[in-house]
Amino acid sequence: MADAVDSRDRAGPGATAGPVTVDTVVAGGWLLTMNPQREMYRSGAVAIDGGVIVEVGHRADLLTRYTPRRLIDAPDGVITPGLVNGHRHLLCCAKGAMPEGGQTLDALRQFIYPSFAALTEQDMYVHAQHSAAEMIRFGTTLFEEPGCNHLDAVLEALASSGIRARTGPWTWDQAGPAGATDLPDWLRMDAKAALRRLADGVEQVRKFGHPRIRDAVTIEGVGTCSDELNRGAAELARDAGSLFVLHKSTSEREVELELATFGHRPVEHMHEIGALNERTLLNHMTSLDDRDVGFVRDSGARISQNPSSALKLAKGTTQTGKWPELLAAGVPMALGTDAENVSNHQDICRAMQLAALLPRDARRDPRAVTAEQAVEMATISGATALWMHDETGSLEPGKQADLVVFDTADFDWRPLHNPVANLVYGVTGHSVDTVLVGGDVLLDHKKLTRVDEGELREQVEQINRRVLAEIGINPEPQWPVL
Ligand SMILES: [Zn+2]
């Protein structure tokens, strides 16, 4: 906030000096700050210097008082904070190739885990680049990666992409209530080795020292991890000021398994063993009861919900989810798109639409989740869920210049009376025109500035074909191919 005061002192009314030179001004039509008052500007602009937001205000005012080295001017554009993807795997499996008909636990064992196991270090580098590029193209500036392999290659790829991220190494001890049957030998280890791998992961990310990449303590969950590992990981994240990330309460089958094994539902079991704290990010959480909501609220834990993934895997989230209750309880919640084959997209605009609409139908209540709450989840609440809200998630002086300019010159954005309604109900990420992270332009008029899209696509296609052959999946269409 001090930067804003300084700039006003230097250039405000009564100041003798002329306009202040800054790196960039992004000027638009509507601007959503997502600051604590949720102020919006009609004809807004953001002044940026050194990658940091200096001031947010009316375009005419800022354009008078600042001389930008680069002016990004979109008089009809809608400017928002960069979108947050709270759950996106970089361990990917060929998009569109997952056999139909599997629910969570079957899909994991038959397709997803074997795909992960087949990825080499070079594959991970390419997938991380490709995934980051796709996210940036659709307006995501920060994401949480819930456990990758070949972390060194991933860190290099993310650093080159320019995106902001949290990540850690894929970890499990295969000693959870779902048993080890059908789990691959890939990365098999006991709890002690797993905890060592997690601590090493935190250290590796910190040593890498990239200002946009933070560490996370990432275990798989979904019944594959012991109590010792859960508890140890939660403690490690809390003590290190990191984020404990795991999949939890992801299906009714998982709930039944934990009830049979522990006598408690998954969230209550986390509470019972002391593995739930304010540094915990629980992914999915599609099968909850009211007591689960209380455990999450009281512990200060955070959540990512992944609506496309929940629908595709038939998790029953409209019946067994508690999204309105979690929001009412003030739980910081992010939206996510999960793995490559369970959302088949990385568009947080689509996630916003589902997050706003599904609970309304489920409850027959058109106010169950509001459009404003959906935008909060995609921005400031998502950043809070990831413990990144001091840096990003809103457009405020002193925060990193992570923002999106939407191009509104198309049918889905027009007429434009209330940009929140258009953003949640009407548009997709295809209307994202320009994306800045830390003041760097990573998408310029729908063109990625740091990668060759065509080359990346070709590399990913080749990796996918090899992996599918290795795991024995032939994704043929159901209809005759002539
Ligand atoms: Zn996941």
CA of 247 to the centre of ligand 1 (A): 6
Residues near 104 by beta carbon (within 8 Å), at least 6 away in sequence: 222, 250, 251, 253, 254, 313, 315
CA of 389 to the centre of ligand 1 (A): 22
Strand partners, 24: 48, 70
CA of 291 to the centre of ligand 1 (A): 24
In this model, does residue 434 exceed pLDDT 90?
A: yes
DSSP helix/strand/coil, 333: strand
CATH no. of 83-385: 3.20.20.140
Percent of the chain whose pLDDT exceeds 70? 97
CA of 113 to the centre of ligand 1 (A): 11
Domain with CATH 2.30.40.10 in the chain: 2-82+395-448
E-state strands within 171-212: none
Band (391; pLDDT cuts 50, 70, 90): very high
Q: By CB neighbour count within 10 A (0-12 exposed, 13-18 middle, 19+ buried), where does 147 fall?
A: buried
Report pTM: 0.95
| Mean per-residue pLDDT, 42-68 | 98
**Could you report the per-residue pLDDT of 324-376, keeping only the tens digit for each?**
999 999 999 999 999 888 889 999 999 999 999 999 999 999 999 999 999 99
CA of 361 to the centre of ligand 1 (A): 25
Instruction: Return the ∠ at Cα 326 (arms to 325 and 327), rounded to 5°.
Output: 90
CA of 2 to the centre of ligand 1 (A): 39
Q: What is the DSSP letter of 413?
A: G
Q: Alpha-carbon torsion 305, 386, 144, 435, what sign?
A: positive
Residues near 417 by beta carbon (within 8 Å), at least 6 away in sequence: none
**Could you report the per-residue pLDDT of 175-186, keeping only the tens digit for each?**
999 988 888 888
Strand partners, 218: 245
CA of 298 to the centre of ligand 1 (A): 24
Give yes or no for a contact between 66 and 72, defined as CB atoms under 8 angstroms apart: no
CA of 462 to the centre of ligand 1 (A): 24
CA of 432 to the centre of ligand 1 (A): 25
CA of 6 to the centre of ligand 1 (A): 44
Q: If we measure between CA atoms, which residue out of 119, 132, 51, 57 comes closest to residue 91?
A: 119
CA of 221 to the centre of ligand 1 (A): 9
Fold annotation for 2-82+395-448: Urease, subunit C; domain 1 (2.30.40)
Give yes or no for a contact between 91 and 424, defined as CB atoms under 8 angstroms apart: no
CA of 335 to the centre of ligand 1 (A): 12
- What is the C-alpha to C-alpha distance for residues 26 and 413, in angstroms, rounded to an integer? 20
CA of 159 to the centre of ligand 1 (A): 22
Strand ranges across the sheet with 52-58: 52-58, 44-49, 20-27, 66-73
Phi and psi torsions of 407, nearest 5°: -85, 120
Give yes or no for a contact between 456 and 126, defined as CB atoms under 8 angstroms apart: yes
Domain with CATH 3.20.20.140 in the chain: 83-385
Whether the link from the prior residue into 415 is cis, omega within 30° of 0, is yes
**Could you report the per-residue pLDDT of 273-313, keeping only the tens digit for each?**
999 999 999 999 999 999 999 999 999 999 999 999 999 98
Half-sphere exposure of 141 (CA within 13 A, CB side): 32
